[in-house]
Amino acid sequence: MVIVIQCKDQVGLVAAITGVLAKAAINIVSMREHVDTVDNRFFVRIVAEGASNADILQQQFQAVLPQNADIKVNPIPEKKIIVFVTKEYHCLSDILIRNHFKTLGATVQCVIGNHATLQDICERFDIPFYLVPHEDKDKGVFENEMLDIVKRNEADYLVLAKFMRILSPQFIKKFPIRVINIHHSFLPAFIGANPYRQAFERGVKLIGATAHFVTDDLDEGPIIAQQIIPVNHSFTASDMVKAGKEIETAVLAKALQLVLNDKVFVYRNKTVVFE
């Protein structure tokens, strides 16, 4: 059983939570907690053992925790995701392999692409691929076609695995804190297009990648995971792109592992991550 709670901080929260579990004869296996003293916010993730009705347990927590506490008792262990792609294969192929060997922590419902480039690899893994071209099409029409596919397939999260189209605020608002993107830069540096070219021209000594939740602000959503590697004057722009793809794959995989295992809390535009 997994329990995740986010609420206003106050004295006695840990005692109240553990008291509820003790009365229900539930044993705590692990407990991670954090207090944001600036925002006076409390976060906790508990792994526990014992038989109990999740709805009743949630009601018991609500009775002892501050008003408007965000409480999830035993969230769905096996999530469902839909992957959005364009032409680059590295992040998608990693997701498909993990999905095939059941190490992803989720089931890939389908893949939506605005080019047919990656249809073949999806078919090799028996994953439905939907082609939704964007050329010569109003953006609203393009997004509505994708929304229809999402509604038919249902998903807990949408994963932008190198999907090179900017989604509208109207689209994003339908999936608050449910759209995960991999950005080819160590944010907040080099926002937008061609970050490796920007990094090369700037002569940086480190390049990286960032996985984040998507919001209305381009590349400025809550950060889930980041990673960097050193580079030097001998790296060409294409060398940086090659190295960057490896980082992007690793960072997106890490972010998905954290999110799908309910280890990421979002408050305002920041995250608390229990790795």
Of 94, 156, 219, 262, the active-site residue reads 219
**Percentage of the chain exceeding pLDDT 90:** 75
Same domain for 99 and 13: no
Same domain for 63 and 83: no
pLDDT tens profile 196-216: 566 666 666 777 889 999 998
In the annotation, is 219 catalytic?
Answer: yes
In this structure, the chain runs to a length of 275
Same domain for 50 and 142: no
Closest to 85 in 3D by CA, of 172, 159, 196, 173: 159
Same domain for 26 and 84: no
pLDDT tens profile 87-121: 999 999 999 999 999 999 999 999 999 999 999 99
pLDDT of residue 70 exceeding 60, the answer is yes
Same domain for 101 and 129: yes
pLDDT of residue 217 exceeding 80, the answer is no
pLDDT, mean over the chain: 91
Same domain for 153 and 35: no
Residue corresponding to tokens 């393009």 = 142
The pLDDT of 64-80, averaged and rounded, is 91
In which domain, by residue range, is 102 found?
79-273
pLDDT tens profile 137-160: 899 999 999 999 999 999 999 999
Q: Residues 171, 174, 179, CA angle at the centre, nearest 5°? A: 75
Residue corresponding to tokens 């509604």 = 151
Q: Which of 50, 73, 96 is the last residue of a domain?
A: 73
DSSP three-state, residue 268: coil
